Amino acid sequence: MLTLDAVRATQGSFTLHAALHVPKGARVAVIGASGSGKSTLLNLIAGFLPPNAGQIAWDGAPFAQLPPGDRPLSIIFQDSNLFPHLTIAQNVGLGLRPNLRLNAKEHGEVAKALEQVGLAGFEARKPAALSGGQQSRVALARVLLRKQPLLLLDEPFAALGPALRQEMLALVAQIADREGLTVLMVTHEPQDARALTEMSIFVDEGVVHAPVPTDALLDNPPEALRAYLGQ
């Protein structure tokens, strides 16, 4: 279970308050207007922004003091999730060992992860030789190898067209189910939230509300969210 206990973080003149629980295995969307603080929330959990107060913990183990790479989570950014000068195998291998000194068994794991995302045999290629959808799959293969319980998605697959994005979200759902991942996805697309998540966190002017069922939130949005969604 992910716990944010009375967390407060400031970024410039902006302050974010968060107190919530996300049960293990849940898939939760983070919804809110631009500037409401949803990306700040993700940065806070991922370790790119230190909290000023409060505690962040996974299964009771606080991790707000750990560097980003040591936290019990993987993150997929909006874009540039791959290093363009490294091969696909190296990009995925970073999920196993950041120093890339892999043994034969680990090379096998990389190949298997690529196979699981439908990219068997792509090891030696460079990211530039792949389509946008394939690059996203590489990032997911790396998530598989990091074997961390929490997956953060920051407006993922934004560069992909609607159909391809739905396909990627389906792949995320499949992987999350199989690996038992807890997923937190920042999105501004209501249909993405409906497609992937059963719960949603509404962020409004720096206040993070507790998760509520996604469909209920989107069917009957509060005033602030209604204005954002244009309903």
Partner 1 sequence: MARRVQPVSTYLGAAVAALLVLLTFGTLGAVAWRAEGLSGLRTSDWLAVRFTVLQAFLSALISVLLAIPVARALARRSFWGRGALITILGAPFILPVIVAVLGLIAVFGRNGLFNTALVWAGLEPVSIFGLQGVLLAHVFFNLPLATRLLLQGWLAIPGERFRLASSLGFTSSDMLRHIELPLLRQVLPGAFMVIFLICTTSFAVALALGGGPRATTIELAIYQAFRFDFDLSKAALLALIQFGLCALAAVLSLWVTTPSGQGAGLGRTVPRHGGAVWLDAVILSLVSIFLLLPLLMIVSKGAGTILGLPESTYAAAWRSVWVAVASALLTVLLTVPLALAALNLRMRLVEGIGYLSIAASPLVIGTGLFIMVYRWADPVGLALPILILVNAAMSLPFALRAVSPALAEIEKDYGKLADALGLTGMARLRILILPRLRRPLGFGAGLAAALSMGDLGVIALFADPENQTLPLALYQLMNAYRLDEAFGAALLLLVLSLSLFWLFDRGGRANVDA
For partner 1, which stretch binds (CB under 8 A), given 51-59, 73-81, 203-211, 220-228? 73-81
Selection from 106, 104, 123 nearest residue 114 by Cα: 123
For residues 15 and 87, which CB has a smaller minimum distance to partner 1 in the complex?
87
- Which member of 37, 51, 95, 133 binds partner 1 (CB under 8 A)? 95
Q: Looking only at residues 199 through 228 of this chain, which bind partner 1 when binding is defined by CB under 8 A?
A: none
What gap in Å lies between CA 214 and CA 72, rounded to an integer?
Answer: 25
Report yes or no: 100 and 88 within 8 Å, Cβ to Cβ.
no
Q: Is 64 left (phi over 0), alpha (psi -120 to 50) or beta?
A: alpha
- Which member of 23, 62, 68, 162 binds partner 1 (CB under 8 A)? 68
Q: Looking only at residues 100 through 119 of this chain, which bind partner 1 when binding is defined by CB under 8 A?
A: 100
For residues 57 and 86, which CB has a smaller minimum distance to partner 1 in the complex?
86
For residues 152 and 199, which CB has a smaller minimum distance to partner 1 in the complex?
152
User: What are the angstrom distances between the C-alpha of 187 and each of 95, 193, 215?
Assistant: 24, 7, 15
Kindly state the tokens that stand for 143: 């998530």
The residue ranges that bind partner 1 (CB under 8 A) are: 46-48, 67-70, 74-75, 77, 80-81, 83-86, 90, 94-95, 98-100, 126-128, 142, 146
